Chains A and B, each alone.
Chain A
């Protein structure tokens, strides 16, 4: 019960803080009326636009109106095409979610076996090469990789479409691009956890009573290694939105990231605010869900005093 209350309080604090910062930054910047009415507008036209959108009132008054509207989830209309901002954002959300889920699926499909293989033993030429590749990939800028992939597979070989959102062929490059900057980190964590599990007493016991290497890996080592990796998966899910902004723009993927870039370039601030609002909620819920899943999976996190962990 106490946890739920803290959760609600944190959530409210986060929302109010983000929205306040965004509101004032948006209003303190350039004049949105010029952008709305066009560069050739007469002063009278500008005044009409200012009045229609409420830009002529005091800053604080605008903030109060904004806050009241926010309570009703009303962000106003997009300055570009007049459709409700929130609806416009929610329309693009599924496309981003598909991309995120597919990339996470590929990430898990690659990271779990590779992490298990690396954790099983030390040394050997193949593992050294894999470690080298991982070290390089960990620092590799994802969007540069995406451009190089487009150059090779779409422009050079013409195997795959360079942009778009039509059919599985157009999903390949974006999904690989996003997964490529998630996998190295996850592989490293799974490897480290598996290595630690192999050194534990319960694995030694399993070996002593004659369990085969397969049973040891999948029954004893991996469940514990993946338990620790659950937190990383959750964090990666939350942080994926950062990668989506650039990757979606490169591939013209009709998701929330591309919309954010287009809206910021157009100074379409109702839509920008709605996007940030949705992202804050999505990230917060992802983190909460991660914690809940961890507590469910790991009995050690349950009970008084054990929950949360926190920082420091």
Chain B
């Protein structure tokens, strides 16, 4: 099955994009000769492919390629960390709620059914602005802590049905502890649906991080981030369209390819 998933065109695109990201992360510092924060007013709005600026320069003469690369670190780091946090908390609480018949289970059900209908991004915007925006970790924590119910809902629903299977009942009868039961016998059954969810969540987190930075409440002012670059580009669309097209292209490529991979994965595991 893995072969069927990986050799389809949609997955190939994602693998190529991931490979490019990895390449950029590893070799980027050697390919781009500029510091992302280096201001050089004599090179304002330098066009792409001039003076060693592969993707041009921005309104302060900073190298767009260097900033794109630095933004890639932030985007990937934020998305991976936020997804990991949401995955761990959500899956753990969802499974515990599925197992529990007590107050915790009832509370969890209530909470996830609410968060299903609550626009999380709105909450994240207000929380990040309040807690203090100029930190990598405040964005990661807020996104992770605000979005874990996505995983809890699925872990709860599927965990409930898995807990009724004979092999789980058998393990239960042999006095297996809750933690061991959930980790050894229930969690493996959740891998297909949760991995699909992880891919989509990763794409959502890339969008969320860039949207927050775009609004000026994600990455601190001046720090290189894709959203921040998009925001700065708005004033110079006519003179320097590459300031818009470079980060826009990067976000689209990463998010769309992840989405296509997720769709393929879902088809294959359905």
User: Which chain A residues have a beta carbon within 8 Å of chain B's beta carbons?
Assistant: 10, 13-14, 17-18, 22, 25-26, 29-30, 135-136, 138-141, 143-144, 147-148, 150-151, 155-156, 235, 238-239, 241-242, 245-246, 249-250, 260-261, 264-265, 267, 269, 272, 275-276, 279-280, 283-284, 287, 310-312
Contacts and interface: CB of A to CB of B under 8 A. Distances in A.
B244 A29 contact: no
Contacts of A136: 256, 260
B237 A29 contact: no
A140 B238 contact: no
A29 B131 contact: yes
B122 A140 contact: no
Contacts of B129: 264-265, 267, 272
Contacts of A241: 119, 122
B215 A135 contact: no
A141 B252 contact: yes
Contacts of A260: 122, 125-126
Residue from B118, B157, B210 with most neighbouring chain A CB atoms (10 Å): B118
Interface residues of B, number: 51
Contacts of A239: 119
Contacts of B263: 135, 138
A141 B125 CA distance: 17
Contact of A151 (B113, B157, B241): B241
Interface string B119-133: 111110111111110
Interface string B215-247: 111000000000000100110011001001000
Nearest to B113: A311
B134 to A, nearest CB: 12
B64 interface: no
B10 interface: yes
Nearest to B121: A242
B43 interface: no
Contacts of A135: 10, 259-260, 263
Given A29-B130, A135-B10, 18 more contacts: A10-B110, A14-B118, A18-B118, A22-B126, A140-B252, A141-B210, A151-B244, A155-B238, A235-B117, A239-B119, A242-B120, A242-B122, A245-B121, A260-B126, A261-B125, A264-B217, A276-B122, A311-B156
A140 B249 CA distance: 11
A283 B117 contact: yes
Q: List the 4 shortest-distance A-B pairs measured between CB atoms, nearest first.
A: A139-B259, A264-B129, A242-B121, A312-B157
A246 B157 CA distance: 32
11 contacts: A29-B130, A29-B132, A135-B260, A139-B255, A141-B251, A141-B252, A147-B230, A246-B214, A265-B217, A311-B113, A311-B157
B252 A150 contact: no
B248 interface: yes
B66 interface: no
A280 B114 CA distance: 10
A17 B244 CA distance: 40
A208 B117 CA distance: 43
Contacts of B86: none
A129 to B, nearest CB: 14
Nearest to A243: B121
A13 B160 CA distance: 25
A91 to B, nearest CB: 18
Contacts of B256: 136, 139-140
Most-contacted residue by chain A among B119, B241, B252 (CB, 10 A): B119
B109 interface: yes
A261 B233 CA distance: 19
A148 to B, nearest CB: 6
B83 interface: no
Given A144-B251, A246-B211, A276 B123 contact: yes
A19 to B, nearest CB: 12
B203 interface: yes
B74 interface: no
A265 B220 CA distance: 12
A143 B230 CA distance: 10
Nearest to A144: B248
Contacts of B210: 141, 144
Nearest to B203: A139
A238 B230 contact: no
B67 interface: no
Given A241-B122, A267-B130, A148 B117 contact: no
